[in-house]
Structure 1
């Protein structure tokens, strides 16, 4: 599954006209993967499956229109963050045999860099004009290799603060699912890697093949790069890295709210520091900000899901539905039930129907 037998010349896309069904047809899209130790399996698999499904008719998986392979300097098996191991198929060799080189990152603390052989290979690819792709924390690895200077890059909102801390002076994009900046493409990982792969398939193979891949994977439609990353939309905008990190911790603990003291402990700051930064940056307290995040999530669930008020209360860290309703009315001027009711029902309640005498 992880290798393709065909290749393209000098890293240039093959002619995209006149597709046939022969196994001997030159693929229009050829991708080489570099897997970091403890890479994210989901992001890698989503990307590969889009290529696989676009490469052939039906679900036969023949690498005709696309091919793909995992390359390595040592050919040692590479463990993913989930423990699943992938065996590379080819040595690094000449990067020009690919249209794109994709670096799949994983757990940051276990992948400080890729090593000199990979850095040499990636720099050779960049000098040859081969676009480089960073998946998940692959953007970190490309930047450590000196290959993202002057480029915009996409990182997951979960790792945004980590990126800022490690790479001073950069402003990564954490509110889009992927970013295409000339010959550098980066995405936040997870399902967004399927959408980035579909973008490449659309460009080199065809829109029909890209749509077919996503539909077979039970993904409705291809999303554009500007699509916001899934998560809780925060109205709390700030450039303060301490406040940003605290807000992300709050997002990750919506169903089981933690104290400001615990947030400060996890961040290595004092409670007073956290409170001072929130006041200066957002003119509010961390407690109020956390409550508003939970209420925003409750509002989102009441509008977009069919969950009961009681379940929404549990999911958003409220004691019960009554507690949620009180806080909800204070914030939005209505109860969760009233938000969900059709407008026509609310009008009929407000204006009594007059009967004929």
Structure 2
């Protein structure tokens, strides 16, 4: 559907002679306060490249509008400000209304008028898309009841804490649940944009946009996010949460335990006691398990060599990594590579809701 309706001469102003005005793909954008610029820019640049021949940027096959209840500019989390094209338009004019989320803990992301507009769009049957933390905004507006939300592994614990009764996926790029689509953000935004363009305009046009952006292939929504999924246990002690976050941020270059303690303004002995009390293991043991879990995920989901994986997981040499890996799993990294990889399906339970047997000792995504 769509692209074949636009065969014919394209005038210099981008209009099609004798054909309908509405393009095959029309998207409305709503930007949250402190929205993520990369998610917005990737998506809209895919539309731009798909909308016209070459790199001419005329809005022929695609149309988009940035809408807001306020006339002030929306500021991204990086400080870049973007103005609106209009107030809220008739939601039925759009195939999709895309909500671009951003920082979670920097005040309200949407006002009451915006939430009311999203509710009206949902009632009209328009597909709502949550990019990055846009899934949180849709959930807060009560628009994800009975739906599954796809979030980044980075925000999985945040989602569980705020929406304990909602269904969440944190191990794939994006998820289509009827007329709700949620995307983990980051580079996954490009994959979702490519998917929607192919759906409306065809594979060739989606491929052209990818090639101009130097993206070699489109990943399906069910492909795994490039990081191990999160466990669903929430740690109550703030100092342990901060230590876990520091560990996760320094997987390839592990921090000495003394350095971890220093950053928390406590002694190494205090940190040892805290971990024994809260986690049931010493901090060094937990840190190693975190790195081994990350290595296992890389083995299962990437084509990196075992040596590269050892270095990425913070091990000085491959032999040391192999010994520790076998001690934990009972088989070597080479054996793990030989095991059959199970593809993800949209009906399969999320890995984030099915932690491995040793998940109580494995890495957890924890936030301050």
Task: Give the TM-score of the pair, scaled to structure 2.
Answer: 0.73
- Change in 2 beyond 3 A, CA 1:159/1:297: closer
- Change in 2 beyond 3 A, CA 1:248/1:29: farther
Displacement of 1:165:
0.5
| CA distance, structure 1, for counterparts of residue 272 and residue 180 of structure 2 | 40
- Change in 2 beyond 3 A, CA 1:294/1:15: closer
| 1:240 maps to 2:233 | yes
| 1:154 maps to 2:150 | yes
Q: How many matched pairs?
A: 307
| 1:1-357 alignment runs, 5 A limit | 15=2, 17-20=4-7, 22=10, 23-24=15-16, 25=19, 26-231=22-227, 233=228, 238-242=231-235, 250-258=247-255, 259=257, 274-275=275-276, 278-279=279-280, 287-295=284-292, 300=298, 304=303, 313=311, 316-318=313-315, 320-321=316-317, 325-332=319-326
| CA distance, structure 1, for counterparts of residue 154 and residue 263 of structure 2 | 17
**SS in structure 1 at match of 2:168:** coil
| CA distance, structure 1, for counterparts of residue 261 and residue 160 of structure 2 | 23
- Change in 2 beyond 3 A, CA 1:262/1:108: farther
Displacement of 1:252:
2.2
User: Which structure would you say has the larger RCO, counting Cα contacts within 8 Å and 6 or more residues apart?
Assistant: 2
| CA distance, structure 2, for counterparts of residue 224 and residue 56 of structure 1 | 24
**SS in structure 1 at match of 2:172:** coil
Displacement of 1:183:
0.6
Is there any run of 5+ residues in structure 1 with no aligned partner, and where? 1-13, 340-357
Asked if the contact 1:38/1:111 (under 8 Å) is kept, the reply is: no
Higher deviation after alignment, 145-154 or 243-252: 243-252
What is the RMSD computed on CA atoms of the aligned residues? Answer: 3.4
| CA distance, structure 2, for counterparts of residue 274 and residue 148 of structure 1 | 37
- Change in 2 beyond 3 A, CA 1:271/1:167: farther
Is there any run of 5+ residues in structure 2 with no aligned partner, and where? 266-270, 328-332, 335-368
**SS in structure 2 at match of 1:288:** helix
Displacement of 1:286:
5.2
Task: Give the TM-score of the pair, scaled to structure 1.
Answer: 0.75
Deviations for 1:320-346, whole angstroms, at most 9, x for unmatched residues?
A: 54xx6434334349xxxx97xxxxxxx
- Change in 2 beyond 3 A, CA 1:330/1:156: closer
Displacement of 1:79:
1.1
- Change in 2 beyond 3 A, CA 1:30/1:171: same
- Change in 2 beyond 3 A, CA 1:167/1:308: closer
Higher deviation after alignment, 211-220 or 17-26: 17-26
